[in-house]
Amino acid sequence: MIPVRFWRLSLPIGENRDHPLANPFGPGSPDLEQKQMDPMLVIVGGCELLRDRVHDYATRLKQMGKKVEYMEIEGQEHGFFTNQPYSESSHDFIGLVRGFMSQNSTDDQQV
């Protein structure tokens, strides 16, 4: 369970966990099934507080037919790649992102 203080720090004043920023499948969120979405890479640390929510997010998008790659970095917490930028896990993370971008980018896409 996520401590209440994290939600209070993350959401607009007066909002709850059903706000679209916290719950993309909540009652106030757009219908993602009807939205065209580019392929996405969802990466989470295995010790991340939101790991279960992130896994559910990726799973539900896949069930809607969206192209989603889900990767879990074992033993890592939120922000591991910025907190330990020279670690083996961070190196692996960058490799995953690089590979995903190479597979899902075309020369005619503009940034």
Place of tokens 């209440």: 4
Tokens describing residue 100: 């995903």
- pLDDT confidence tier of residue 8, bands split at 50, 70 and 90: confident
User: Please, are residues 81 and 89 in contact by the beta-carbon 8 Å criterion?
Assistant: yes
In DSSP terms, 70 is beta-bridged to: 42
Helices in the chain by DSSP H: which ranges? 4-10, 51-63, 80-83, 88-104
Q: What's the pLDDT tens digit per position in 19-30?
A: 998 899 999 999
Q: What's the pLDDT tens digit per position in 90-106?
A: 999 999 999 999 999 87
Nearest to 66 by CA among 41, 45, 43: 41
- Looking at residues 20-44, what average pLDDT do you find? 94
